[in-house]
Chains A and B, each alone.
Chain A
Amino acid sequence: MEKEALIAQLKTIVQPYIQDEEAFNNLSENTDFVKDLKINSANLVDVILDLEEVFDILIENADMEKMLSVKAAMDIVNEKLAAK
């Protein structure tokens, strides 16, 4: 999936959980979910559920642990989409 489009979609998915508006507005590949967006770590599982739903993919526990930044999320989503 094209990078810009994917970032835009990720942005919509994480929006309900973010607690730092400024970091959200400047969201880029390098943005960290917890450190930058201040997403409560408990909500990361909700982000993943939403990702699964939107992209119709299944994210395993091992992938989940890695998914702490926009970059990591993009890599995993692309990988899963390619394997479909």
Chain B
Amino acid sequence: MKHRVVITGMGVVAPNGVGLVQFTNAIKNGISGISFHQNLKDLDFSCCIGGVPLVSEEKKLQYFTPLQLRGFNSSGILYGCMAGIDAWKDAGLSFSSESKLDYDSGTIFGTGTSGVEKFREAIYKIDNKEVKRLGSTVVLQTMTSGVSAFLGGMLGLGNQVSTNSSACTTGTEAIILGFDRIQMGKAKRMLVGSCSDDGPYIWGGFDAMRVMTYKHNDSPQEGSRPMSHSASGFVPGSGAGAFILESLESALERKANIYAEVLGGALNSGGQREGGSMTAPNEEAVVRCIKEAIRSAGIPPDAIDTINGHLTATSKDGLEIKNWTKALDRKGINFPYINSLKGMVGHCLTAAGSIESVATVLQLKEQFIFPNINCEEVHPEILSLISEEKIPKKLLKTKVTIAAKASFGFGDVNGCVILKKYSP
């Protein structure tokens, strides 16, 4: 028998809100977390704006011991651990450094690279023949699985503890991997999510590819413009999102608060064939991934009330909408509502799928659809496919039962998850 899987806790560290309360308020009110960064300007970046969560030193000490913070320089692990611990607590689960090892709980917590700033420090020391002076902290902060290793130790997780990585699909993939594991009865609870480092050493490669906007250095909050006629490239972001996925039996037994149910999901790749490449999607594979997610959820495509898209604010947004219309066989006024969080937080790269999924689940829990900001004039290519009223520009309070969330990433990889408001 396959187990039903529900979400019983969430945590988020986003450029426009740290913690669920701040983040919920921000997404409802269309608050941007994008700002100008002088360090990018000083390094001659074309795009000098980005989304960075605000975390004070005092806040760090609520999650890490002073010893853990000695020589600590990994923004991704910081955000990931904060979101992960918040999700754990939000689910009503307790922990301490002496808490009992729990073989029924694990984590799959994704990232792209880990501790790139720490890695930079280390490289300078090594090249200066000071390898002996690195200390003990380099490996832990720069190994890709650093974030899951930190979380596993903080929470005493005894089930699978690992990190997944699939570019911008990472966060959505983590949810599906955890879902599969619980569905198959291999774990009762999985902390899933993803995080991303921020700063020039993560964003530089994208700036070099000219995929980030250079037109809004003087108007940062207007820079990220998904689905807009005047979209001119993405704005980089960072942060983390986290979920406690749990078998329905376990959640009911604990009398846990249930945010939503994960009905199904799918992961695939276009194999960089048939129009797909390292950086562009194979359209057929995208459509297939969405269809497969819907099939696995056991719902008709018409049951989807809202879509949270990948929609990065590049020239590919129109193509994404076309793929959704094909996969759902719905268009015009019959298309579901659709939004993109990237207008407010930018493209949080490996953290995107999880932060955006937190927003999607909040919509189901509190029955609203957050506004698309910076989308005053929708791209004509998109308007030829779907009605403008399906792209809410103001907070919409409406009945939302089923939501689809998809993420697509470099390497021609796709992920789509189907979420439902919980009903027994």
**A interface, CB within 8 angstroms of B:** 16-17, 42-43, 45-46, 49
Contacts and interface: CB of A to CB of B under 8 A. Distances in A.
A17 B136 CA distance: 12
A54 B137 CA distance: 20
A49 B133 contact: yes
Contacts of B66: 16
Q: Which of B66, B67, B71, B137 has the most CB of A within 10 A?
A: B67
B150 to A, nearest CB: 14
15 contacts: A16-B66, A16-B67, A16-B70, A17-B67, A42-B136, A43-B67, A43-B136, A45-B135, A45-B136, A46-B70, A46-B71, A46-B135, A46-B136, A46-B137, A49-B135
Contacts of A49: 133, 135
A40 B385 CA distance: 60
Nearest to A41: B136
Contacts of A46: 70-71, 135-137
A16 B71 CA distance: 12
Interface in B82-136: 133, 135-136
Q: Sorted from nearest, which 10 A-B pairs have the closest CB atoms?
A: A42-B136, A46-B135, A45-B136, A46-B136, A49-B135, A16-B67, A43-B136, A16-B70, A49-B133, A45-B135
A42 to B, nearest CB: 4
A46 B66 CA distance: 14
Interface in B66-81: 66-67, 70-71
B18 to A, nearest CB: 27
Contacts of B67: 16-17, 43
A81 B372 CA distance: 67
Contacts of B70: 16, 46
A49 B71 CA distance: 12
Contacts of B133: 49
A47 B292 CA distance: 54
Contacts of A45: 135-136
A77 B133 CA distance: 18
B96 to A, nearest CB: 14
Nearest to A45: B136
A43 B66 CA distance: 13
Nearest to B137: A46
Contacts of A43: 67, 136
A62 B324 CA distance: 64
B64 to A, nearest CB: 13
A45 B137 CA distance: 10
Interface in B315-351: none
A42 B133 CA distance: 14
Given A46-B71, A46-B137, 8 more contacts: A16-B66, A16-B70, A17-B67, A42-B136, A43-B67, A43-B136, A46-B136, A49-B135
Nearest to A18: B67
Nearest to A50: B135
A26 B135 CA distance: 27
